Amino acid sequence: MSTHTQNAADWHGTTILAVQKNGKTVIAGDGQVSIGPTVVKGNALKVRKLGSTGHVITGFAGATADAMALFERLESKLEQYPTQLARACVELAKDWRTDRYMRRLEAMLIVANSESVLILTGAGDVLEPEHGIAAIGSGGNFAQSAARALFQYEEDAEVIARKAMEIAAEICVYTNRNLTVEILQKD
């Protein structure tokens, strides 16, 4: 058995970026999962559509099983509050903070619809970042910085997200170029 212990702090390899501009909402996520210095998987899917109509997109950073549990809970909140994304997220954050089982979940989410982008944490945070740009994960600061720099020069949210993720992959060793991208277009 290895002397290297595998805990949540050893799991890296996620960059999730949301960009909202000109009626388009994009969440992009890389596919790398690492344990310590080892790349375990290069094509993980960390971004997906939620809700029966697919009107919400989300991406996660952190433990995969924990994120899947959060996705399930978020979907049930979206069923309760189908047109109120912020309310569904606040209700999930309350449960996450107060439920004994959920408090142990180690993940973060970016959740978006065509109107807003939100970051959810286990600390009970539901944050709506400025400028319609949010990022989480090990390369999140790189991707967010790149997206902010590109935002005033590029009109298409998808182009901004893809270019910013490319820059993050060049800088962060826990981020690769194998992207999953989900898009919502405002009607």
Mean pLDDT of the 28-50 span: 91
What is the pLDDT at residue 175?
93
Structurally, the chain folds into a number of domains equal to 1
Range of the domain at 82: 9-172
Confidence of residue 11 (pLDDT cuts 50, 70, 90): very low
> What was the pLDDT predicted at 35?
82
What average pLDDT score do residues 118-139 get? 92
Q: What is the CATH number of the domain that holds 92?
A: 3.60.20.10
Decide if 154 is inside a domain.
yes
Has 25 been annotated as catalytic? no
Given this model, what pLDDT does residue 13 score?
66
Assigned domain for 25 exists = yes
- Sheet holding 38-41: strands in order across? 11-12, 33-35, 38-41
Q: Does 34 have pLDDT greater than 90?
A: no
- Do the domain assignments include residue 14? yes
Per the CB < 8 A criterion, the answer to whether 1 and 155 are in contact is no
Q: Which token pair is 130?
A: 């400025």
Rounded to 5 degrees, what are φ and ψ at 115? Answer: -105, -35
**pLDDT for residue 5 is more than 80:** no
pLDDT over 60 (residue 10): no
Residue 84 neighbours by CB distance under 10 Å: 14
Q: pLDDT digit string (tens) for 40-96?
A: 899 999 999 997 778 999 999 988 888 898 899 999 999 999 899 999 999 999 988
Residue 64 resides in a domain: yes
58 in any annotated domain: yes
The one catalytic residue among 3, 14, 58, 175:
14
Residue 180 lies in a domain: no
In a domain, 186, yes or no: no
**Single pTM value for the model:** 0.91
Q: Does a structural domain hold residue 80?
A: yes
